[in-house]
Amino acid sequence: MSDSEIELKLAVDPSDLPRIESLAELGSGRSTRKRLESVYFDTEDRRLRARDVTLRVRRQGSHYVQTVKAARERAGGLLSRGEWEVRVAGGEPDLARFGDGPARDHLGLLAVEELRPLFASHIERDVRIVTGGNGDGTAIEVAIDRGEIRTSEGAVLPVCEIELELKRGERRTLFELALRLAESVPVRLETRSKSDRGSALASRTPPAAAKAAPVGISGDWTVERALEEILRCCIEHLGANEGAALEGTPEGIHQTRVALRRMRSALTLFRSLLPEDQHAWFVGEVRWLAGELGPVRDWDVFLGELLPPVEEAGIGGAKMAGLRIVAEQARDAAGRRARDALLSRRRAVLALRMGAWIEAREWRRQDVSEAAADLFAPIEDFAGALLDKRHRQALRRGRGFRKLDAEGRHELRIALKKLRYACEFFQSLYEPKPVARFWKQLSALQSALGHLNDVVTAARLLDGVAPEGGGMAPDGAGIVVGWHGRGVAELEPRIASRWESFVASEPFWARG
């Protein structure tokens, strides 16, 4: 019986498996082949799933092993969780075999009679151990899995992945090995366990989008520890939405872009503490991926928020129907571009390099300086200055607000987003009520400016899909832009009032 596992999963195309199995990075040792037949159990109301607990019974050769896996701790793409195993007599769960202990505690008040088989996995696994070449004691179990997940209703999901599990050594070595594999064969960081994928298949629900989890920073942390936590939260937010983004759901695309913006904002927030070459590479790659997802998000806003009110008003008639067809075709093309980027080797390398960067604290590899020394200062002494900087930038962008053109207000909106993300990162350091009051004013202003930007973006999008050689936007485009442009004009006094209220508000970090 073990009590923990730390692993990294890489999805791979089946056609690339022969190349992977021959890679020098996986060593020359003999591999062991196993046939794993696993059945996953839960109650009718999915109580274990709600608690992020997995219960399975796996047949291994001539015997059966019952496993409980506890709620997961994700850290930059790594999956770390408690794991408890016992042998059982057959293919059905026997909860009494766990006795009194952590495994039984995670299962909660659960009777074996309540359990039902939800799905099964049928996996051929080749296992080998990769050890560190410098005698550091590192040992990583490399499992190459191919097979399928199957529900009792007959739904099937193919599985082809490499699972790297740390047996001994530092967690960064998992990323380093994964990066070496990615340099040789196209792989993708798989953030979902087989249990996650099987549960979604059994419930017939597409991957759900997820908002960012709160960042819990303590005042006695160093700046470096806060930076690590913020970046890990950004990476987990990104990974949590990858399934929904690959499905092309509007909210999945949106939350993926939010995760990327938060990540870029965090990197820029701490820029003075990071080596310039490291900062430039990561920001450049994050900007690239966000840019690949930008067009599909813009079309989602147009089709989901800007076009429907005009259609419902009955204005434009057949022109609106034609415009919807053109917009949906453009959205499909943008969606394919976004999916290609998410599945690309470049995206995989970004995820793996950032995970390794954080685990190894690569930013420490810089010349000694006053800025570098700030990494070890208390974050409580540092957060206020960072928030002040973002706040001043926003106020500067908004000077002469009533006379700002669309481009000026766009720049202001970006500055306010950066301020908002900084507030999200550090809000746990401050009293909740002042944070909530400031947040309310900031959100209202952002929302108003966001609608203005959506209208400007829609005009640009529609010009971009003009018929070849026609030099004009599709029929009906001017109606939609004009409709919302009038609304923006009517909202102008309210937007200006919100800006003035925001300027006059007291920042929560300045109290006392």
Task: Determine contact, residues 374/215, Cβ cutoff 8 Å.
Answer: no
Task: Determine the Cα–Cα distance for residues 334 and 467; give it in Å rounded to an integer.
Answer: 17
Please, which residues bridge with residue 42 across strands? Answer: 116
Query: Is residue 28 predicted with pLDDT exceeding 80?
Result: no
What is the maximal distance between C-alpha atoms in the chain?
A: 78
pLDDT band at 466 (very low <50, low <70, confident <90, very high): low
Tally: H helices and E strands in the chain: 17, 11
User: Which candidate, 327, 322, 263, places its Cα nearest to that of 301?
Assistant: 327
Model pLDDT for residues 360-390, shown as the tens digit of each residue: 999 998 888 787 888 999 999 899 999 999 9
Query: Is residue 468 predicted with pLDDT exceeding 50?
Result: no
Calculate mean pLDDT across residues 116-137: 87
Calculate mean pLDDT across residues 457-476: 67
pLDDT recorded at residue 108: 85
The H-or-E segment that residue 477 falls in is helix 477-504
What separation in angstroms does the CA of 122 have from each of 34, 58, 68, 93, 159? Answer: 11, 10, 18, 18, 9
Among 75-89, 209-223, 346-360, 398-412, the least confident range: 75-89
Among 145-154, 189-198, 415-424, the least confident range: 189-198
Model pLDDT for residues 323-332, shown as the tens digit of each residue: 899 999 999 9
pLDDT band at 227 (very low <50, low <70, confident <90, very high): very high
Give the helix ranges, DSSP H, for 40-140: 47-50, 102-107
For 162-201, the DSSP string reads EEEEEEES-THHHHHHHHHHHHHS-EEE--S-HHHHHHHH
What separation in angstroms does the CA of 392 have from each of 270, 331, 418? Answer: 16, 37, 11
* Full 3-state SS string of 360-380: HCHHHCCCCCHHHHHHHCEHH
pLDDT band at 1 (very low <50, low <70, confident <90, very high): very low
Task: Determine the Cα–Cα distance for residues 412 and 63; give it in Å rounded to an integer.
Answer: 64
Q: When comparing pLDDT for 462 and 45, which is higher?
A: 45
* Full 3-state SS string of 413-427: HHHHHHHHHHHHHHH
